[in-house]
Amino acid sequence: MLKRYSYTTHGTCSRQIDVTLDGDVIEEVVFHRGCMGNTQGVAALVKGMKAEEAIRRLSGIDCGGKGTSCPDQLARALSEMLNGAGE
């Protein structure tokens, strides 16, 4: 079953992340704004990965001393999804 969620980011150049899960597997990730090469790369790497594994790998990554990053924000979005957020 597909589940979609739009997450508003905080503290990053990207402004929103749209995530689609198929069960607990990442089907698609789309970053809005941000460093396009990096965000497209992260999105491609996590496709097909279990959400919990992506969270484990991406949580806590920092960008330039901001205390967060686009990958970290994706981990937060996935955590919210696993805790019931999304449609």
Entry pTM: 0.95
pLDDT, tens digit, 9 for 90 and up, residues 28-41:
999 999 999 999 99
**Whole-angstrom distance between the N-terminal and C-terminal Cα of the chain?**
11
* Residue 7 near residue 29, CB atoms below 8 Å: no
**Phi/psi of residue 26, each to 5°?**
-75, 120
* CATH number belonging to domain 2-82: 3.30.390
- Residues 15 and 85: their CA atoms lie apart, in Å, by 18
Q: How many CB atoms lie within 10 A of CB 72?
A: 21
pLDDT, tens digit, 9 for 90 and up, residues 5-26:
999 999 999 999 999 999 999 9
* Residue 42 near residue 71, CB atoms below 8 Å: yes
Which sequence spans correspond to the domains of the chain? Answer: 2-82
